[in-house]
Chains A and B, each alone.
Chain A
Amino acid sequence: MKLTIFHLYPEAMNLYGDLGNILTLVKRCQWRGIDVEVSNIKVGDKADFNQADLIFLGGGQDRGQSIIAPDLLRKGSQIKEAVDNGAVSLTICGGYQLFGKYFRTAEGTEIKGIEVFDAYTVAGNRRLIGNVIVEAGNWASGQNQEKLVGFENHSGKTILLNDLSPLGTVVKGFGNDGEGKTEGAVYKNAFGTYLHGSLLPKNPWFADYLILKGLKRKHLEIEGLDELDDTLEMDANVAAQKRAMTAKTTYI
């Protein structure tokens, strides 16, 4: 059994510990004896997204986003097709924005996205920074855990359109648009969020959820994953939640 991860633009888009997310996916597979392969996809590379079980795109600075955006657009229809056929994707911050329709920068330039999510992002006039707790949406019902904890730092405000579901509801923090109600987006197995921190190490249940969904793409017969000792992971999760509740959230 093997999980194939496509890591998009690991050099241009790795701002806040995104490597920690990849490391978590890799280790949690290896600890269970599941083979895992990470393909790094750079600007200009040809990639067959039918092969991808899990697509990851992290955050980047505005400059990083403009550099990769044209290449991402060229790959856009392939990625959308893969997502529609059940591929899992996790996109964070800048990557999440580019999986929407467009990102309008503070200067008014529109960077076109690949429209996996029926959402758009506009630059806000303040940065939304701090620890976040999110209560996961309906997609997570049946999971043992339903809280996600992470750190957000963005000035873009993401607006979800029509009936696109958010990843969850903000318990603490700013979320998609600073109004503090919804966070992230979910379409089929595509998950977008502003949470880094890194996200997956402290939310092992979500990491496992993604791994299982990814494996199911080629191995429909799988029902669940072997249990791991997540004591330390959940200690860190609880500590981060406490910090989120007590620390002042700031914006600059």
Chain B
Amino acid sequence: MRKFLAVLKAKTSVSIIRLFKVGGGSTFPGLLAEKIDPQIITKLSSKLKYGSIIITGTNGKTTTSKMISDILTKAGYEVVSNRAGSNMTRGVASSLIEKSSWMGTKIDGDIGVFEIDEATMAYAVKKIKPKAILVTNLFRDQLDRYGELDKTAKIIKDSFSDANKTQIILNADDPLVASMGQDVNASYYGLDDSNIVATSEAAMDSKDCLRCGAELVFKQRYFGHSGIYSCPNCGFARPKPKNIAFNISLSPEATFMQLRLHSDAIGVSINLPGLFNVYNVLAAASLTHWLGVDKKIISESINAFQAAFGRMEKITIGKKHMLILLVKNPTGFNQVLRSITSDDTKKTVAILLNDNFADGTDVSWIWDSELELLKNRTGRIFVGGIRAQDMALRLKYAGLNMSFVKIIKEEEKVIDESLDSLPDGQTLYVMPTYTAMLKIRNMLTSQGLVKGFWEGQ
């Protein structure tokens, strides 16, 4: 009865919320259901025939989860996922409720793919009891919310203790992530490409061995603190991955790579730039290959992949284009800046900095990001959001010509005005933080340019 009541009330709230457009309805119903029945997630997820997968880490959760869902769908699974971007447990509860019958006895799906916020891992693993956990990477992100990076690593590692038969899939190139592999059933993925070399020391979040504290020695560094490393003191070293990406070729529009998944080899290309996306592809391929999906299905789904909103999604408005690149931490911001400045043309750019809870209330991370990269690579720069002045100030100290920088606080107006100033046929590069991205999305949705939150992707 408790479960029935929980599902019924929550289902009603899904429709009511959508009816009144309060939001995507992606967290509130779950919040309600979990209040009525704290076991709701466990009860509903246990009805998924093939169990559940959890994806966690700082960057790449959303893109990787979407790739995994696409691959599994193509392989014939019926996927339940919280891909509307609600990665606290109530988002999981909401997605389960949406797919369940009114009584909660049946569920319309056979596998769960859930992206989970790092801080929620302990609770989520207990409730979901996943068959596999994938950890993408750990970078400095919203430290104001979670305390410090080492503690986040510990929270995730500790959550494994509630998952003793679970397959743990880890990024071997990130020492913070790889060091979680001790005493668990772990497998690894990583890059094997000697042509990829980091050019800057900035955004090196973690240089020390998490096990003994000595400074790690990097034989090769891909970006941030990712690379091939070892500890001269305790012997901890990058585990040799069985799933690798190699022959990687990067350009501002597309990425090609070859993958070796144990003994299987495939070549894939995606219409997304940046080394981050190589990791996303490799992570999704490693996990689905472990589940037993055929390599042909994996490569076909990846080749056909469409980015999630704000994750390098390209939108065409009349004769103009807009590329939305979500930014939320120095490492991710640097990757985005690097990929849009990788050719000589002068780009029109809009940067939107908010400091709401979901963005991280501390904006100091922009001072650890290399805005200097924009020098000589931009025409006009539009700056907006709640902390627009902070961002403009950052650009001033980066040495940019401030006569080309315009501050407009309101997010929607920034987009309007920057699109107006953009010549036909060109692309506006928009870099918003999370809540600024939601505002842009709402604006584009109301103009019919993109689909709503809950209409899938």
Which A residues are closer than 8 A to B by beta carbons? 11-12, 14-20, 23-24, 27, 61-64, 66-67, 127, 129-131, 151, 153, 155, 196-198, 201-202, 232-233, 235-236, 239-240, 243, 247, 250, 252
Contact = CB atoms under 8 A, between A and B. Distances in A.
Interface stretch (B28-36, B92-100, B316-324, B363-371): B363-371
Given A129-B361, A153-B362, A16 B143 contact: yes
B150 interface: yes
Nearest to A24: B397
Given A27-B397, A197-B362, A153 B390 contact: no
Interface residues of B, number: 34
A235 B207 CA distance: 36
Contact of B392 (A62, A66, A236, A240): A236
A202 B392 CA distance: 11
B390 A20 contact: no
Given A67-B213, A198-B364, 7 more contacts: A11-B207, A20-B367, A24-B397, A153-B143, A196-B362, A232-B402, A236-B389
B230 to A, nearest CB: 18
Interface in B377-429: 386-390, 392-394, 396-397, 402
Contacts of A239: 387-390
B226 to A, nearest CB: 16
Instruction: List the 9 shortest-distance A-B pairs measured between CB atoms, nearest first.
Output: A20-B367, A17-B367, A17-B364, A236-B389, A16-B364, A61-B148, A198-B367, A239-B389, A235-B389
B144 interface: yes
A19 B148 contact: no
Contacts, number: 98
Contact of B361 (A67, A202, A247): A247
Nearest to A249: B361
A131 B363 CA distance: 10
Interface string B135-156: 0000000011101111000000
B110 interface: no
Contacts of A61: 148-150
Contact of A233 (B355, B366, B393): B393
B208 interface: yes
A143 to B, nearest CB: 20
Contact of B368 (A14, A63, A232, A247): A14
A232 B144 contact: no
Given A153-B144, A240-B390, A63 B366 contact: no
Contact of A63 (B204, B213, B392, B394): B213
A23 B367 contact: yes
A201 B213 contact: no
A239 B354 CA distance: 12
A248 B399 CA distance: 34
Given A11-B204, A17-B368, A62-B148, A232 B393 contact: yes
Contacts of B402: 232
Contacts of A11: 201, 204, 207
Contacts of B390: 202, 236, 239-240
A144 B397 CA distance: 23
13 contacts: A12-B207, A12-B208, A17-B366, A24-B397, A27-B397, A63-B150, A129-B144, A151-B361, A201-B367, A201-B393, A202-B390, A202-B393, A243-B355
B61 to A, nearest CB: 21
Contacts of A12: 207-208
